[in-house]
Amino acid sequence: MSRIWRMASVLSRGRVRCPWHGACFNINTGDLEDFPGLDSLHKFQVKIEKEKVYIRASKQALQLQRRTKVMAKCISPSAGHSGSTNVLIVGAGAAGLVCAETLRQEGFSDRIVLCTLDRHLPYDRPKLSKSLDAQPEQLALRPKEFFRAYGIEVLTEAQVVTVDVRNKKVVFKDGFKLEYSKLLLAPGSSPKSLSCKGKEVENVFTIRTPEDANRVVRLARGRNAVVVGAGFLGMEVAAYLTEKAHSVSVVELEETPFRKFLGTRVGRALMKMFENNRVKFYMQTEVSELRAQEGKLKEVVLKSSKILRADVCVVGIGAVPATGFLRQSGISLDSRGFIPVNKMMQTNVPGVFAAGDAVTFPLAWRNNRKVNIPHWQMAHVQGRVAAQNMLAQEAEISTVPYLWTAMFGKSLRYAGYGEGFDDVIIQGDLEELKFVAFYTKGDEVIAVASMNYDPIVSKVAEVLASGRAIRKREVETGDMSWLTGKGS
């Protein structure tokens, strides 16, 4: 790893945590121990002589910078028994891919089938809203050769319509049937659409695929873009389009962006950053009508009666779990459609596991409260735990949630689970966007966010991961010695 990366990282409990994305690596082996990411680091021989440090390394290891763990290969190819598989994974996002890779890393050599609604091999979907111009091959998590080499079969544009848990069989939309021994459900979520008048007009998008993202950029170039929703997806899209579009407008029901997630003060500071970059906000209102000219979007009408010129509209107003196909399956769903799992990612049906955006699970360091956390990092962790328990390793999920976003060249990092926070303690300067915000509930810090304050979020994540509670009084004084003095 580079000198800069090492200087900013957090060293604790035999592992080093990345200051930017929260991934953790074992300092003895370089193995990836907490996510996000798929690969581990190389380890090198180090010798210290007379205050000089000597590192012995191959040129290849230095150039690659990453190491794929040793994996088993499939010894039971599909030819001759294509109607059955040992492991079936429904959904090829981070949870599904990590599950498949973990099985191979743990020596599993039987058949694995990964099916996805997408036309592409597994890709980095969160990047779609941050880099709308990105092509599918740039977003791919693994090349085609990887899946071939390790015998991970991927069925693209394959929609499961029925799961028969009694006979351990799924039915696809085209009528194809596949039996399984173990099943992972990682279907992800479906974006909510607008329900207003004119919702069927052209050039209104929920960004779900690289093709969606690419079309938005083409339509917005030099023209008027409207984004509905000031959450992460909406704000990332708005930030990206400012240098492409003639105008960018954001419509949001709340009074500030990110209010429920980051609080009013942080939301207002970020809103000002966007306004300084020519983004116009229409807050505490919603869309009442989409007007078209020759079938294509021309205007967005707000309930406040304001009319916005619009050549393209991106809708980012949340998502619902894509679990409709499970309603008659006998697999439990909660009132919102999420799949409840235990700490081992097991559903109520033996041999059936679930992971990713569509699940609720017990969050260990919040007293096992059942939560849904649709983060990229969390999907990785859940996929790994599910795979371990398919192999009867009795692994339990215990990670601290961690996420990040980037807008206008500035990165926001967040760790913890802040839902229900009742106070926000801010240190630093919100105006200068150099701050750390501690989210508290009662006397306890339950989450932290920062901008230009690395590696504090990774430090807090390590403290929370160790099981130590952080008290509100510890962060109110501004004295960070309790945090920065140890383990840096």
Three-state SS for 257-279 is: CCHHHHCHHHHHHHHHHHHCCCE
**CB environment 68-89: b (16+ within 10 A), e (fewer):** eeebeebeeeeeeeeebbbbbb
Query: Residue 20: which of 451, 473, 351, 467 has the closest Cα?
Result: 451
Residues of the chain above pLDDT 90, percent: 78
pLDDT of 484 higher than 90: no
Least confident range from 50-54, 60-64, 96-100: namely 60-64
Pick 294 or 78 by higher pLDDT: 294
Task: Quote the CA–CA distance of 339 and 341 in Å, as a whole number.
Answer: 6
Whether 179 contacts 83, CB under 8 Å = yes
332, with CB counted inside 10 A (0-12, 13-18, 19+), is: middle
pLDDT of 15 higher than 80: no
Per residue in 105-153, pLDDT (tens digit) is: 999 999 999 999 999 999 999 999 999 999 999 999 999 999 999 999 9
The predicted structure's pLDDT at residue 225: 98
Task: Quote the CA–CA distance of 27 and 46 in Å, as a whole number.
Answer: 12
pLDDT of 32 higher than 90: no
Task: Quote the CA–CA distance of 351 and 332 in Å, as a whole number.
Answer: 14
Which amino acid, one-letter code, is at 225?
Answer: A
pLDDT of 461 higher than 80: yes
Task: Quote the CA–CA distance of 90 and 113 in Å, as a whole number.
Answer: 9
Please give the domain boundaries of the chain with CATH numbers for all domains: 10-63 (no CATH), 84-190+321-391 (3.50.50.60), 204-317 (3.50.50.60), 402-483 (3.30.390.30)
Per residue in 440-451, pLDDT (tens digit) is: 999 999 999 999
The predicted structure's pLDDT at residue 10: 74
pTM given for the model = 0.91
Query: Residue 251: which of 281, 220, 288, 290 has the closest Cα?
Result: 281
Task: Quote the CA–CA distance of 182 and 196 in Å, as a whole number.
Answer: 42
pLDDT of 2 higher than 50: no
Whether 186 contacts 99, CB under 8 Å = yes
Task: Quote the CA–CA distance of 442 and 154 in Å, as a whole number.
Answer: 47
Task: Quote the CA–CA distance of 348 and 332 in Å, as a whole number.
Answer: 6
pLDDT of 487 higher than 50: no
411: tokens are 């990165």
CA distances in angstroms from 53 to 48, 49, 137, listed in the order given: 5, 7, 40
pLDDT of 485 higher than 80: no
Which residues contact residue 410 at a Cβ distance below 8 angstroms, ignoring those fewer than 6 apart? Answer: 273, 433, 451, 452
CA distances in angstroms from 325 to 84, 90, 162, 188, listed in the order given: 20, 11, 6, 12
Which residues contact residue 286 at a Cβ distance below 8 angstroms, ignoring those fewer than 6 apart? Answer: 228, 251, 253, 302, 303
The predicted structure's pLDDT at residue 80: 44
Task: Quote the CA–CA distance of 206 and 188 in Å, as a whole number.
Answer: 15
If you average pLDDT over residues 51-77, what whole number do you get? 80
Per residue in 148-205, pLDDT (tens digit) is: 999 999 999 999 999 999 999 999 999 999 999 999 999 999 999 999 999 999 999 9
Instruction: Give the single-character DSSP code of 420.
Output: T
Phi and psi torsions of 303, nearest 5°: -65, -20
The predicted structure's pLDDT at residue 4: 35
Whether 434 contacts 51, CB under 8 Å = no
Query: Residue 228: which of 190, 282, 178, 270 has the closest Cα?
Result: 282
pLDDT of 460 higher than 50: yes
pLDDT of 280 higher than 60: yes
Which residues contact residue 50 at a Cβ distance below 8 angstroms, ignoring those fewer than 6 apart? Answer: none
The predicted structure's pLDDT at residue 78: 61
Least confident range from 39-43, 82-86, 102-106, 111-115: namely 39-43
Task: Quote the CA–CA distance of 332 and 327 in Å, as a whole number.
Answer: 8
Least confident range from 31-45, 333-347, 388-402, 426-440: namely 31-45
The predicted structure's pLDDT at residue 6: 41
Query: Residue 470: which of 434, 419, 416 has the closest Cα?
Result: 416
Which amino acid, one-letter code, is at 265?
Answer: R
Task: Quote the CA–CA distance of 103 and 379 in Å, as a whole number.
Answer: 16
